Structure 1
Amino acid sequence: MRNLVCIGWTAAALMVGGQAMAKVSEAEAARLGSDLTPVGAERAGNADGSIPAWNGGLRQPPAGWSVGEREINPFPDDQPLFTITRANLDQYRDSLTEGHIAMFETYPDYAMPVYQTRRTAAYPDQVYQKLKVNALSAELLDNGNGVRNTIMTSPFPIPQNGLEVVWNHILRYRGEQISFRSASATPSVDGSFNPIVTEYNYFMAYSEPGAELEDIDNKIFYLKTETISPPSLAGSITLVHETLDQIRSPRLAWRYESGSRRLRRSPNLAYETDLPNSSSLRSVDQKDMYNGAPNQYDWELLGKREIYVPYNAYELHSEDHAARDIIQAGHINQDLTRYERHRVWVVEATVRTGISHIYSRRMFYVDEDSWQILVTEEYDNDGNLWRVSEAHNISFYSVPVFWTTLEMTYDLNAKRYYIDGLDEGQAALDFEPGLRSSEFTASAARRAARR
């Protein structure tokens, strides 16, 4: 790995009697909010100044924005510092992932506009307070299949191994309730596409104010999706109860297909199963860049790197750009993207002996300022790089919270991609929709399907 800063943890520090240790000392936890940010990132900038110090993130919305409106670009005057192309690729190889290098090698017109680094990730004060509490108490369960003594947000702001970093992503704070509509698409090789509009409703049990771990019935969140268009798919519903320890209590999922008019359990809506409406270009466990039980892989924390990653994607989020402005043949319109130099945690996942998965190895590049996975690489069972995924994120002002506005998975063999989060014609995300957990039962989904 290029420019990799190694983590010098010993095996004894990671595993004691089969239990992965996690709790840190009072002295270590005191670093949060000091030389480390409240989330656990390095507060200071880097040596050459290309990464600035974190100064609190984007805590206040820009002038001209109001709650209920789509987020506007807080940096409208920013221009690219330079653009990476195939012609100058060698100059920047050490600051790119293998997946991005493969994108340049696959698509002659692929480019990455690089902007000034702005460390905008920010969260509410109660999240920062809970991060410090979690640092002192959180532990991995045996074999890392769950966590205990943690609530609301990432459990391990000072991580000691790869599993802790992955759990930080899975349990990162994304608000308490979220309701929105967006579109996904699987463009053909020529760039033609038919969008599928879906309504999402999240009830984040793990992050509810005042919630305690023993009160949430092993649930991270409840999710109900309903397909709005096209008419041939409209009315299809998915209901998910995402569990904290998926080995003790696996994810519960139901699907209602408008054609069959029946709500059925979907026990296989996990792991390598094709993500619905993805044309087999993405697996279920790639949704949100990675989700679900981590028990199919061995996880290794390789250290940190300074690389160019998608960040502050306000142009892709802007209501000024229709889906046809974003979607192109082979890859999205890179003129609308924004890449910045950031520090990321690098985690390698290798499929465990005896486990079958379409991806034998996966690389994860995790933002130090938010615990959001920004880029992944997926390798086939012959060890070849197969797919590259990106998460383009913004700060949602009303919370605040740093979260994905657009995700895509590129298939380097098929030269096609899956894209999700297209906002054309849709209202802004609602972080206070007034949802209740009772709306996420199977009977409630069945009643909704019959209306």
Structure 2
Amino acid sequence: MITTRQSLTALLLGSIVFSAHAAVSEEEAQRLGQDLTPIGAEKAGNEAGTIPAWDGGFTDVPAGFEEGGHYPDPFADDERLFTITGNNYKEYEENLSPGQIALLTRYPGYKMHVYPTRRSTAYPQGLYDETRANATKVELIESGNGFEGTTGGVPFPIPESGLEAIWNHLTHYRGDTYKTTWAQAAVTKGGDYTLVDFDYEYDFIYSNQQKSPSEREDNMLFYFLQVITEPPRLAGSALLVHEYANQVKQPRRAWTYNPGQRRVRLAPNVAYDNPGTAADALRTNDDFGMYNGATDRYDWKLVGKKEMYIPYNSYDVNGPDHDVSDIVQANHINQEHSRYELHRVWVVEANLKEGTSHIYKRRVFYLDEDSWGISVTDKYDNRDQLWRVDEDHKYSYYDVPFLSPGVEVKHDLQSGRYIALSLRNDKEVVYQPIDRTPADFSPAALRDLGLR
């Protein structure tokens, strides 16, 4: 459903899968901070009044918050508006994805509690400044598998193609240099699972607000280190990733450490539809973070915008008031602790190119306009049947600030199973800034990590 003049423009432009890759004019760029937010969302609310205007987002730090720890819910007193179930979903289906409807109709206990819309997303001023500069200068490379012209900010705040929109997701601000811990549960049809615990370190070079543009490495997006700490049979296994902006110039590089062999190896298969770490084949590598990695196996179409119920301000399901055992259950996570809100989303459709391969023939992504992060994904198999549905229960880290990924749930409709990532309920470290250098994310450092 196209809801705005800007969306109609996007729809017309999106009918061309990918051709243009030029920056916008200065006249268009002047809309940023005027009728558009500094990163390109519509600043105004909707005509019905069910989506408010963006007023800068939420940056107040509630009492009781301690750096590195869990985030108190600033909206805990909001009253629920209504609940969508399999019995009443037809009243709301215009604002749902096919995947969400499939979950509501397949699982009797699946529900979506809808609350007042809070456009809480905010980012550092430095990111806004860089985004404004990007609008008139950043361009996709000729193949579309990367971009050039900046080391920070939203590269395409006024997108003219699906590829530009998806690169906005791939580069959207997720903090600077920090460590975090969380668990993952691959849940059987009967509700059984074994938790896999991870320690993570990230150094987001692109847009890093602790580094000046001159200090950021050219073409580098981020360094990523993943170490399994539980269960014992997997403990000590590690993955190191270097991710780049221009993936033709420099494709992703990855290494693994196997504690049994005590060796570091190149890992070229950490990409595309190869199975994700300890995921029991319930997610691909490029499913992580709702979508990551190279864009070259799909044709991308910017479908337009729609108003949609998406997980948002999901402090309860991510917070310390519940044990993981209360969140993870058979068929789906405990939706009693979920929070959905009506937001505008960009709709981007990816169709598999001829001559390439992937287990997903088609993917439809729903990108939150206020953050560029993907909130919901519907994925189709090679028979064009809806196969998997992902939802990311995001919430704001208001002290940084940014809209953070939360519990990331990936449902397999064919097997009746799902996997839940980023379960932090019983973890102590949520977002802890750390000091790191590129040498700390080298294969040599990975080898040293394994010897400690």
TM score, norm. by length of structure 1 = 0.96
Change (3 A) 1:441 1:105: same
Alignment of 1:15-30 (within 5 A): 20-30=20-30
2:72 matched to which residue of 1?
Answer: 72
Change (3 A) 1:14 1:153: farther
- Aligned to 1:49, the other structure's residue is in SS state coil
Contact 1:20 1:142 in 2 (8 A): no
2:135 matched to which residue of 1?
Answer: 135
1:445 matched to which residue of 2?
Answer: 446
- Whole-angstrom distance in 2 between the partners of 1:320 and 1:11: 46
Does residue 393 in structure 1 map to residue 373 in structure 2?
Answer: no
Contact 1:20 1:139 in 2 (8 A): no
User: Which segments of 5 or more consecutive residues in structure 1 lack a partner in the other structure?
Assistant: none
How far 1:373 sits from its partner (Å)? 0.3
- Aligned to 1:20, the other structure's residue is in SS state coil
Alignment of 1:96-135 (within 5 A): 96-135=96-135
The one-letter code of the counterpart of 1:28 is: E
Please say which of residues 395-404 and 4-13 is displaced more in the overlay: 4-13
Does residue 7 in structure 1 map to residue 4 in structure 2?
Answer: no
TM score, norm. by length of structure 2 = 0.95
- Whole-angstrom distance in 1 between the partners of 2:123 and 2:13: 33
- Aligned to 2:99, the other structure's residue is in SS state helix
Alignment of 1:275-314 (within 5 A): 275-314=276-315
The one-letter code of the counterpart of 2:362 is: R
1:42 matched to which residue of 2?
Answer: 42
2:341 matched to which residue of 1?
Answer: 340
Which portions of structure 1, spanning 4 or more consecutive aligned residues, are displaced by more than 4 angstroms?
A: 1-5, 8-15, 209-215
User: Which segments of 5 or more consecutive residues in structure 2 lack a partner in the other structure?
Assistant: none
- Aligned to 2:313, the other structure's residue is in SS state coil
- Aligned to 1:169, the other structure's residue is in SS state helix
- Whole-angstrom distance in 2 between the partners of 1:258 and 1:216: 31
- Whole-angstrom distance in 1 between the partners of 2:143 and 2:15: 15
The one-letter code of the counterpart of 2:254 is: A
1:359 matched to which residue of 2?
Answer: 360
Contact 1:247 1:293 in 2 (8 A): no
Change (3 A) 1:213 1:141: farther
- Whole-angstrom distance in 2 between the partners of 1:102 and 1:164: 29
Contact 1:44 1:52 in 2 (8 A): yes
- Whole-angstrom distance in 1 between the partners of 2:124 and 2:10: 32
Change (3 A) 1:200 1:210: closer
How far 1:7 sits from its partner (Å)? 3.0
- Whole-angstrom distance in 2 between the partners of 1:11 and 1:315: 39
Change (3 A) 1:366 1:10: closer
- Whole-angstrom distance in 2 between the partners of 1:408 and 1:134: 33
The one-letter code of the counterpart of 1:48 is: A
How far 1:114 sits from its partner (Å)? 0.5
The one-letter code of the counterpart of 1:280 is: A
Contact 1:20 1:144 in 2 (8 A): no
Please say which of residues 418-427 and 207-216 is displaced more in the overlay: 207-216
How far 1:309 sits from its partner (Å)? 0.5
- Kindly report the root-mean-square deviation, in angstroms, between the aligned alpha carbons of the 2 structures: 1.9
- Aligned to 1:207, the other structure's residue is in SS state coil
Kindly provide the CA deviation profile for residues 223-253 of structure 1, in whole angstroms up to 9, marking residues without a partner as x. Answer: 1111111111110010101111223211111
How far 1:414 sits from its partner (Å)? 0.7
How far 1:82 sits from its partner (Å)? 0.3
- Aligned to 1:186, the other structure's residue is in SS state strand
Contact 2:238 2:258 in 1 (8 A): yes
How far 1:100 sits from its partner (Å)? 0.3
Identity %: 44
The one-letter code of the counterpart of 1:393 is: K
Alignment of 1:230-249 (within 5 A): 230-249=231-250
- Aligned to 2:136, the other structure's residue is in SS state helix
How far 1:424 sits from its partner (Å)? 3.1
Contact 1:272 1:284 in 2 (8 A): yes
Change (3 A) 1:131 1:8: closer
Contact 1:134 1:151 in 2 (8 A): no
